[in-house]
A and B are shown apart, each in its own frame.
Chain A
């Protein structure tokens, strides 16, 4: 028993994601400057910082979505465990199957019902799975996202019937259904009301045991409530990285202190 606990603890400290001299541009505008960070397995890391500091861009570099924007460019390396996801011979599609994403606004597929949306990762990747298994995946994912009870009787209905908060939780379920190792969340509650926000935060906290979560947020209270680690960014650079409790009680840099005490941003 004692030993098992030890192993578990060690696994928690394993590195999941690491960047090496990561730089990113939109045309000639440099968004990210020499980012070197490391994210541990099964932790919840929050990226905070003022608007335009590159939080979202950094997040979108982790699943190679950044490069899809016309004019976008990247230099440097990002490692998912031992794999450099910017390796020239690597199909970005394979990376995105291992690293899921939840966006700022709910973006369910309106040409599919709720059930199909949850399993859309399987539909879109043509992965053949039995009906029973799919049913299980749908239930499990919706339960993990904390919305099963609200939608279980209307799985065949159109997603537009759901409220924004409910849709966002179905989006989380959709991302979880393909069992990603890392879940990226880009301000997932910024378009939602306080109650939906609270529910999603609750969901996120319980997910930590299953996946490594990286969340971008504008809301410092939210970062303090849910995260284990904080990455503070300013003007495209990482200023400070540390345990959430440390960053909020004893920040090492003046800039971090100014930001979390609300002096700018």
Chain B
């Protein structure tokens, strides 16, 4: 649990279009790493390469290495399905399965591996996971209701619960709060602070205050212009990035001069 990730010289393509070029960075275990940058700079594309979700899009492919505790996730014998069981993901818009109850949503990932889960064990996992996602008190009386009956913020915490129920090594969050109101956002941020005790967390965010609040390290991505590939500009401890960035582009971005 909570593994480190080293990315070496990674390129991500959509067909012939190079969307992300030459990214090399390290993600520390049991910490929150934020990816920031203007729209279209490739940070969402990049985060999707870590759990091999990028290649789900027709024509999309990746070059380079993503090492998880030294094992290349793009190695020849690596099954992308297995990678995704170790690297969980939370999406921009809350996406609980509408055809499942709240409890079924939590168990969705577990049921993939373990078809016959004893009832008491299932209940235990549901309660434990929902407690870990700070959602238990709000939904404990309506576990059999559809996941879509919850508010947006609750749905997103349900999605986080669904992701952590399978006990992944890493959790990726692609702008998890961009569809949420400030109070729900706060709830998710609190949750991230708790989860990093046990998990490696990577979060893409447009909200620089959020990056400053939740992350230990921040990576700034930028794009030279439309049609050009996104690149990693710099990465450092969050406090350094937001107080004394090495690059001018970073300073311009965090001080609101563009982006």
Q: Do A and B bind each other?
A: no
List residues of A whose CB falls within 8 A of some B CB: none
**B→A interface (CB under 8 Å):** none
